[in-house]
Amino acid sequence: MFARHPRAAGIVLLLLLVPAPAARAQDGAAAAPSSSGAASVAALVTPQEGRLKNGLRVLSLVDPRAAVSTFQVWYDTGSRNERPGITGISHLFEHMMFKGTKKVAPEEHARLIQNVGGINNAATTWDVTYYWQALPPDQLPLAARLEADRMANLTLSEANLASEREVIKEERRFRVDNQPIGRAVELLTAIAYQSSPYHWPTAGWMNDLDAITLDDARDYYAIHYAPDKAVVVIAGPTSHEANMKLVEKEFGGLKPGKPAPRVARGEQAQHGPRDATIEGEVQLPILLGGYKVPPDSSADAPVMDVIANLLSTGQSSRLYRKLVYEDQSALFAAGLAVPRKDVGLFYAFCAAKPGRDRDSLETTFFNEFERLGSEPIAPEELARVQSQLEAQFVFGLEQVQDRATIVANAALIDGDAHAAARRLERWRAVTAEDVQRVARTYLVPQNRCRVWLVPAPRRAS
Amino acid sequence: MKRILLLALLLVLSAPAFADSPKPVAAYVAPKPIERGLKNQMRVLVIEDHRLPMVHYRYMIRAGASDEPADKAGLANFLLEVMRQGTEKRDAKTLSSEIDAIGGQVSTSATRDFMTITGQFLSRDWRKGLDLMADVIQSPAFRGEEIERTRGRILAGLQGSRDQNGPLATEHVNALIYGTHPYARPVNGDAGSVSAIEKADLTSFYETYFAPNLSLLVVVGDVDVNTVVGDVEAQFRDWAPHTPPSRPGPPLPVFDSNRIRILDKPDVTQTELRIGFEGVKRDTPDYYALAVMNYILGGGGFSSRILDAVRSKGGLSYDASTAFDFGRDKGAFVLSTFTKNETVGTTVDLALATLKKFQDEGPTAKEVEDAKRFLVGALPLGMQTAQGLASQWSAIDFYNLGSDYFEKYRGRIEAVTVEDVRRVARERLREDKLAIVAVSSAGEVKGQLEKYGPIEVLDYRSPTGAIPQSKPTASLPAETLTPGAAAQAKTVIDRALKAHGGAARIKAVKDVSTRATIAISTPNGSVEGDLMTSVRIPDKSRIEMSMLGQRGVQVLNGDKGWATSGGQVTDLTAEQAQAMRAGLKVQLLPLLARLASGKAQVGYAGSDVVSGDSVDVVLVVDPDASSRAAFSRKTGLLVRLEQEEPAMFGEGKVQMARLYSDYRTVNGLMVPFKIERYARGQLLIADKVSAYEIDKGGPDTPYLRPNR
């Protein structure tokens, strides 16, 4: 995921030197009967829905006790909607959207939001590009006005393109080229996906970033930045009726965009493990792995969540206990399920302690994933994971902007705006047999890719 | 006296309007805790918040990394990590299992000024969560096995942290700004200081600083204040208060020029930059004016001058910001950014010009108004999470900012005038005597920074210099050594060669063998043994060691090597052969011979004191083994040699130092009969030489691999 401004950017796969939580931010459902306020917890991510004539969808999360509101616009386009030659254009666009319209000067959007006591940011992923602000509830009209204006009237000029091109190249240098782990993740993703549009990085290849033209940008804007390709999400104390009225007022006059080109679905079959190595200036060797898994809308996705937590949440998790605590061969180790619209990738990563034998670490590491296919997990372990998922779900609802993100992801990635509210039940329904079945199907060597990031040999001075 | 909990949220909701000028910011009242003091002086703050079924505990001790002994830097962090690994009644696995079973999250954090242990749980488990927290806080187990496991994790983490250029740059700029003040030290310590920490250090730090009268517990969440406080009282009842020593706060250094440090790292195409200078304490009355000033200058994102100049207008970077790093003592002001190597000079120029212009002209009235609107209006954003609330209230308590802090906050911000901001800018910003750090490819950026002042180039893996026994290591490739430094080094070397017996005699040496009694320091005491070494210049060496009834031999013969142990013969790995080659090069006579040949790349690296003697230090650059040689000013003899070597016990590399003394004449050459080897500041091995032979001659047999 690439963000407009690093300070408020979300947790990114590339920031792998801090152990990442394995649970997914988007998930939630009705709470257990013994929790206090069970109904209100589920309600926090159960949206009310509306739609304008031009196709714009509106999702409202109403919480009368919130002191803050969020106004978000999610565009149903990401790096998977690109093609070789213009990779990185979705991310470039995320930046271009801040360069102004006739009514708003370049970079003024953020200043206007901050001036009313708000914060804002944007992010691009493989599947979506979204723009959000968190601000006092009485300032929603400002947010709506600004978002509608740039959806329809963005100034696309050579000067703006030139300056943002340099900025995103710097961002690519920051996240990928100067972070060996960024390069390693990029390579892993590229070898895992051959035919899928997930093959190329959201950052774009550097030579494509240099090649994108103003015409490319105009075409992209005309298709993807349109009400029929977007979802507005508002969370806070305002009512759905008030939200609909506001959105209709600002966005009602916009026209649908050009039809979006078809995006290739699926990924061709993998017939055996794929291995690669990258050398970099690193102190700790890093092992990255990836297993291809179904889209997040699949019935098996909650099972992958259970597996990810079983493996890496908390110090009693499988990977921590075995590799970090007992063997002391890794500094950290985790599995991470990243929600995707199409074929997903279950990421595995591990930082090796210096001087340890890498082959045996690799064997032990992947064995923890793959033995789940043959060894059933104990009831206490399953219960632990389900408690952890429930707790993380609750903890993830504190901020209105996070609730909105959870619901938007459900709507766009899973195709069901109510999927978030149902997730907790679906986790509870996962059995030990499900874990074994899903592991046996996907967590197998034939379906595995791996990249070792190792220290480059020192050059003589 | 019981206070009523205020959880009123006053929102002014008006009908949607589209005015172009911002409306007055809606009034917001921050949640305020109920305060309770226990009999043992521990304090508890509770905020009831029933919006979500969760509870957050934040436990804080009013002592931190600045209270550590300087040579045990990292002690506070180490202590907290060990505390997390088990209590008297719950070992590491049990503790983690109990936390995880209820979906809880318990973590620890050491900062310069204070230490925290936080726990977050579903509210149905509030009591169990509190029980776990109280156990961790009051009954740490300090099991030896867990201490060593933790040490291993911390050391690996320290090594890995050098892969993050941003935090690395910040660590070094702190070292430059704070000098000998405790804030100069990295909170996690460094490999040397962490290796030196023993169980007694951990227990002592715990016993000194973990006391109820230094403790604050903040509870935020779906709990009942009376029930929770009742439980806290019961859990912490047996804990007695005591008074710790007061912490010295040495002054910050006064620079007399800019100080620039480049951390040389290969393959870097984008340079991390930090520019910093002395700041202020958290409780300064100028805090509000400074908050406004910093927002305008570099804290306000796209509303800030720095980001506008460097990113929006300059296209030089993806991010640039400024921050005051307030502390209990004076903190620092740091400007942070990064840019591709080619534009480092331009970016530094632009950043400094932006600071200067701001200092000269001050802010505009609009900038000040916009800043105030943000600082007041955005307050509720940071209060959405239990953790955010707990963290802010514990800071208010720690810095004694008053329980009416939030009530007064808005008024104090709104009272800041343009003139106030202008004044603090004049008083607090500097354009000279800066500390500048760049993590980069030194060869590419050194030239761009030279105009700012004298530059020190260090290997990026080098210690910061803020921890007493860990000296930074230079890694100057030949091109960056100035001609002056090389010439100065040559003078020292010439004198040394003469003192050791003359360049001609040294260059003629072919063989050196020694026999010594060695004593190796271990945690269980000293172990004695016999050591025979021989060297046939240029590429053969043999080490034979007998100890505890075992005999081992290790030999380098040209490119390859072999070793025997217990009758078995094995080949050396490439790395081991490499290590022996490096070791050979820094044996005394081969090293002096290399210096005598004039082919080694050298530079003068300053003066120092070794065992009471004044010395001149010379850097000797070599692709296999760079080293720093210290020669006595009095005698000219080599008294210390420092370099990085593969660790003898454990993995990775280690800063080794050899001290030479008891010099006697052999074959007209002055050679040392006593060698003490230090690793990370600790004495590891002491050699007492009993026989020293030079050019004894003989066949190559001792170096040839036996057939087995």
Q: Distance of CA B647 to CAs B161, B188, B332, B650, B679, Å? A: 19, 21, 36, 6, 9
B372 touching A (Cβ < 8 Å)? no
User: Are the Cβ atoms of A325 and B14 closer than 8 angstroms?
Assistant: no
User: Residue B260 pLDDT more than 50?
Assistant: yes
Per the CB < 8 A criterion, the answer to whether A110 and B301 are in contact is yes
Q: Does the pLDDT of residue B707 top 90, yes or no?
A: no
Task: Give the model's confidence band at A20: pLDDT under 50 very low, under 70 low, under 90 confident, else very high.
Answer: very low
Q: How far is CA A33 from the centre of its chain?
A: 31
pLDDT the model gives residue B14: 24
Per-residue pLDDT, averaged over A222-227, amounts to: 97
Which residues of A fall within a CB distance of 8 Å from B120?
391, 395
Residue contact A36–B53, C-beta within 8 A: yes
- In angstroms, the CA B309 to CA B351 distance is 8
CA distance B670 to B496: 10
User: Which tokens go with A96?
Assistant: 């271009």
Give this complex's ipTM.
0.91
Q: CA-to-CA distance for B98 and A423, rounded, in angstroms?
A: 25
User: Peptide bond before A227: cis, by omega within 30 degrees of 0?
Assistant: no
A70 contacts in B (CB within 8 Å)?
none
User: A317 vs B100: CB contact, 8 Å cut-off?
Assistant: yes
Residue A167 pLDDT class (50, 70, 90 cuts): confident
- Asked whether the predicted pLDDT for residue A399 surpasses 50, the reply is yes
Cα B466–Cα B72–Cα B326 angle in degrees, nearest 5 = 55
Give me the phi and psi of B525, to 5 degrees please.
120, -170
Give mean pLDDT, residues B686-693: 91
pLDDT class of B700 with cuts at 50, 70, 90: confident
The lowest-confidence range among A69-73, A232-236, B82-86, B450-454 is: B450-454
| Beta carbons within 10 angstroms of residue A276's beta carbon | 15
In sign, the C-alpha dihedral spanning B113, B117, B120, B123 is negative
State the average pLDDT over residues A365-371.
97
Pick from A96-110, B579-593, B640-654: least confident:
B640-654
Question: Could you tell me which residues are beta bridge partners of residue B107?
Answer: B118
What are the DSSP E strand ranges found in A281-432?
A: 286-293, 330-337, 344-352
Over residues B301-313, the pLDDT tens digits come to 888 999 989 887 8
Query: How high is the pLDDT of residue B24?
Result: 56
- Residue B566, number of CB atoms within 10 A of its CB: 7
Work out the pLDDT band at B231, boundaries 50, 70, 90: very high
Q: Which of B11, B18, B52, B132 to mutate to test the interface with A (most CBs of A within 10 A)?
A: B52
Residue B91 neighbours by CB distance under 10 Å: 16
Question: Rounded to an integer, what distance in angstroms lies between the CA atom of residue A53 and that of residue A248?
Answer: 9
For the four alpha carbons of A134, A138, A142 and A145, in that order, the dihedral sign comes to positive
The answer to whether the Cβ–Cβ distance between A174 and B103 falls below 8 Å is: no
The DSSP secondary structure of A185-209, one letter per residue, reads: HHHHHHHH-SSSGGGS-TT--HHHH
Which positions in chain B touch A145 (Cβ < 8 Å)?
A: 18
CB atoms within 10 A of CB B211: 21
The half-sphere exposure of A119 on its side-chain side, counting CA atoms within 13 A, is 21
Interface membership of B17 toward A (CB under 8 Å): yes
Are B474 and B436 in contact by the 8 Å Cβ rule? The answer is no
DSSP H or E run through B455: strand B455-459
Do A387 and B376 lie within an 8 Å CB cutoff? no
Q: Using an 8 Å Cβ cutoff, are B310 and B316 in contact?
A: yes
- The mean-pLDDT minimum among B262-276, B345-359, B503-517, B670-684 falls in B670-684
CA pair distance A246, A236, nearest whole angstrom: 14
Q: B131 and chain A: CB distance < 8 Å anywhere?
A: no
pLDDT at A176: 86
pLDDT over 90 (residue B523):
no
Report whether B561 contacts B570 (CB < 8 A).
no
Q: What is the arithmetic mean of pLDDT over A1-8?
A: 56
The whole-number pLDDT of residue B275 equals: 96
Helix (H) or strand (E) holding A235: strand A230-236
Strands B332-340 and B270-278: antiparallel
Element (H, E) at B370: helix B365-377
Contact A314 B96 (CB under 8 A): yes
Least confident of A244-253, B455-464, B699-708: B699-708
Q: Examine the pLDDT at B485 and tell me if it is beyond 80.
A: no
What domains does chain B contain, in order, with CATH numbers?
Answer: 31-236 (3.30.830.10), 259-459 (3.30.830.10), 478-703 (2.50.20.10)
Backbone angles phi, psi at A230, to 5 degrees: -130, 160
> What residue of A is the nearest CA neighbor of B266?
A281
**Residue B412 CB burial class (10 angstroms; 0-12, 13-18, ≥19):** middle
Q: Which of A375-379, B107-111, B154-158, B704-708 has the lowest mean pLDDT?
A: B704-708
Give the other-Cβ count within 10 Å of B212's Cβ: 23
Higher pLDDT, A164 or A2: A164
Q: What is the CA radius of gyration of chain A?
A: 22
Query: How far is the C-alpha of B569 from the C-alpha of B645, rounded, in Å?
Result: 24
Q: What is the DSSP string of B489-542?
A: HHHHHHHHHHHHT-HHHHHH--EEEEEEEEEEEETTEEEEEEEEEEEETTTEEE
**Residue pair B218/B390 in contact by the 8 Å Cβ criterion:** yes
Does A397 sit within 8 Å of B25, measured CB to CB? no
pTM of the model: 0.78
| Structure tokens belonging to residue B266 | 């290969």
Question: B543 pairs with which residues across the strands?
Answer: B533, B554
Model confidence at A215: pLDDT above 90: yes
Contacts of A148 (CB under 8 A, 6+ apart): A250, A251, A254
3-class SS of residue A262: coil
Helix (H) or strand (E) holding B109: strand B105-110
Residues of A in contact with B145 (CB under 8 A): none
Report the alpha-carbon distance of residue B181 to residue B248 in Å, rounded.
9
Q: Given an 8 Å threshold on Cβ–Cβ distance, is B652 in contact with A145?
A: no
Chain B's closest residue to A386, CA to CA, is B103
pLDDT at B306: 92
Residue B70 pLDDT: 87
Distance CA B445, CA B439 (A): 10
Type and span of the H or E element at B644: strand B638-646
Residue in chain B lying closest to A382 (CA): B101
Q: Is B342 helix (H, G, I), strand (E, B) or coil?
A: helix
What's the rounded Cα separation, in Å, for the pair A126 and A200?
9
**Region B18-39 average pLDDT:** 73
Kindly state the tokens that stand for A176: 């990928």
Contact A41/B53, CB-based, under 8 Å? yes
B residues 488-547 lying closer than 8 A (beta carbon) to A: none
Question: Which range has the top average pLDDT, B189-203, B483-497, B559-573?
Answer: B189-203
pLDDT of residue A3: 60
List chain A residues with CB under 8 Å of B378.
Answer: 114, 117-119
Query: Is the model more confident about A6 or about B269?
Result: B269
A311 and B190 Cβ atoms separated by less than 8 Å: no
How far off is chain A from B611, nearest CA to CA, in Å?
33
A393 CB burial (10 A radius; 0-12, 13-18, 19+): buried
Q: Please spell the DSSP secondary structure of A12-29, one letter per residue.
A: -TT-TTSPPPSS-TT--B
CA distance B175 to B120: 34
The band of B524, judged by pLDDT with boundaries at 50, 70 and 90, is confident
Q: Show residues of chain A in contact with B153, CB under 8 Å.
A: 324, 328, 331
pLDDT > 90: what percent of chain B?
63
Give the pLDDT of residue B242.
93
Question: Comparing B60 with B654, which gets the higher pLDDT?
Answer: B60
| pLDDT single digits (tens) B564-600 | 877 788 888 877 887 788 788 878 888 899 899 877 7
Report the pLDDT averaged over residues A73-79.
98
Question: Which helix or strand (DSSP H or E) is residue B487 part of?
Answer: helix B483-500
Mean pLDDT in residue range B275-294: 94
- Interface probe for B, chosen from A63, A173, A326 (most Cβ of B below 10 Å), is A173
Q: Is the pLDDT of residue B3 over 80?
A: no
* A185 neighbors A260 (Cβ within 8 angstroms): no
Edge to edge, the sheet with strand A129-135 lists A2-3, A119-124, A129-135, A69-75, A230-236, A57-62, A48-51
Among partner residues B120, B267, B270, which is closest to A395 by beta-carbon distance?
B120
Half-sphere exposure (CA, 13 Å, Cβ side) for B599?
A: 7
Contacts of B157 in chain A (CB under 8 A): 331
Q: Which residues pair with B185 in a beta bridge?
A: none
